[in-house]
A and B are shown apart, each in its own frame.
Chain A
Amino acid sequence: MTHLSKSPWILHYDASSCNGCDIEVLACLSPLYDVERFGIINTGNPKHADVLVITGGINEQNRQVVQNLYNQMPDPKVVVAVGICASSGGVFRECYNVVGGIDCIIPVDVYVPGCAARPESIIDGIVRALSILEEKKRMPAHGRATGGGER
């Protein structure tokens, strides 16, 4: 095991979430759940982050932003889609302006279901992501990944 899984720094991005999942993500930082126990820190900066936590689905406004944030994170990195909207587009899937889940723009490693996702499952999802992070360190992708194609 390397230090990667002991110090996951996350970048939380609200794509087009209704703020339900966002509040739950922030609840994880509160004294009750205290994710800093696992060394998790919420950085506001993709260049420092290892885990990209996204709530809400992709729409035309944020599609390039998500791509940009992902590209600016140094490898190895993992993406956690929190909530059903981030996973698949959820109830907004058929909206005229919604593209779909996060995985239609960038590769997603862990899907955390729920509407809203519970803090316990968010923490669980991130901890899952850590083992994927370790794996990515062992088998690095060739060159800088530019993210998945579009669906």
Chain B
Amino acid sequence: MILLEYAVLFIVLAPFIGGLLAGIDRKLTARMQGRVGPPILQPFYDVGKLFQKEQIVVTPSQHFYVLSYLVFIVASGALFFAGGDLLLVIFAFTLAHIFLVLGAYSSYSPYSFIGAERELIQIIAYEPMIILAAVGMYMVTKSFFVWEIMTSSLPLILYLPGVFLGFLMVLTIKLRKSPFDLSTSHHAHQEIVKGVTTEFSGPMLARVEIAHWYENVFLLGFIYLFFAWNPLVGIIAIIVAYLLEILIDNTFSRATWKFTLKSAWIIAGMMGLVNLGVLYYLSGVVPV
């Protein structure tokens, strides 16, 4: 069962929600640092400006990769909100990210090249945990389909607390927050110039930014799945989780790739696998 209307809603609304979210993020970050901060709508101004800038490229093929990145992020997010297969959604997201990485590689620029390598390290750092999260949801609800997980009356969070914590950890990587903003970063942060996005400019950079908004909305949707049995709790959880990410962003310094990889894997292993193992064991004793 694919719920097309939700997919359309996602495609239309997600940029607004994502942009607003980024604006609130920047405002809160500024307040945490004792600054006034930009207007809430600042991300929209930024993207609007980028579209008004001249397009310069290093190689025209960058366009292809960035456009593919945007298209596949939107497609996989739409698939998620349409209630599609969670694993397929995850794989489609990986595909989209590979396009971003390839776009960075294609320019043969030292900075975006290193950014691309680091982005790949980040992908291998977070991907196992996300797959394990999907597997955990399957173990509780017996389905990989998002709409079945959504309509399940079981409080997933009570079955999967470890998986949820592990997911929060990799969420930091996905949201490009400190300490894991190795490959490119937000706001005024700089790392290896701008890493993956160094060679994207003007309208092309705006597309990357919009894709990131779509992606953030998808990630928050993923958090919601853990709390889907009660919409109110779900929305509160999303807000709390996002605030937590902003706090982490402002209190940690950037980590090395080695630390990122190791900590992501260890936490995925400890939190995720142990949680799943317990669940697996219990399912033999107490039927879920």
Contacts and interface: CB of A to CB of B under 8 A. Distances in A.
B35 A31 contact: yes
A71 to B, nearest CB: 10
B37 A74 contact: no
A76 B201 CA distance: 12
Interface in A4-44: 4, 6-7, 9, 29, 31, 34, 36-39, 41-44
B233 to A, nearest CB: 34
A31 B194 contact: no
Nearest to B27: A36
Interface string A67-78: 000001011100
A74 B202 contact: yes
Contacts of A43: 188, 190, 194
Interface stretch (A45-53, A84-92, A108-116, A120-128): A45-53
Contact of A3 (B35, B52, B201, B202): B52
A44 B45 contact: no
B102 to A, nearest CB: 18
A44 B190 contact: yes
B55 A37 contact: no
A72 B111 CA distance: 15
Contacts of A3: 45-46, 48-49, 52
A12 B143 CA distance: 53
A43 B184 CA distance: 12
Contact of B52 (A2, A37, A48): A2
Interface residues of A, number: 26
Nearest to B202: A74
A76 B53 contact: yes
Contacts of A47: 56, 198-201
Contacts of B258: none
A137 B56 contact: no
B48 A7 contact: yes
Contacts of A2: 48-49, 52
A7 B194 contact: no
Contacts of B110: none
A43 B194 CA distance: 8
User: Which of A36, A44, A72, A75 is packed against the most chain B CB atoms within 10 Å?
Assistant: A36
A135 B107 CA distance: 32
User: Which of B37, B48, B201 is packed against the most chain A CB atoms within 10 Å?
Assistant: B201
Given A4-B49, A74-B53, A41 B188 contact: yes
A76 B51 CA distance: 12
A39 B200 contact: no
A31 B250 CA distance: 14
A39 B35 contact: no
Interface string B42-76: 10011011001111100000000000000000000
Contacts of B55: 74
B66 to A, nearest CB: 13
A48 B35 contact: no
A50 B38 CA distance: 17
Nearest to A4: B49
Contacts of B49: 2-4, 6-7, 50
A8 B148 CA distance: 46
Interface string B167-208: 000000000000000000001101001100111111001000
15 contacts: A2-B48, A2-B52, A4-B49, A4-B52, A34-B37, A36-B36, A38-B38, A39-B42, A41-B188, A42-B188, A44-B193, A44-B194, A47-B200, A74-B202, A76-B54
Given A37-B35, A45-B193, 5 more contacts: A36-B37, A36-B188, A37-B37, A39-B45, A41-B187
The 10 closest A-B pairs by CB, nearest first: A3-B48, A47-B201, A6-B45, A3-B49, A75-B54, A34-B35, A7-B49, A31-B34, A74-B54, A44-B190
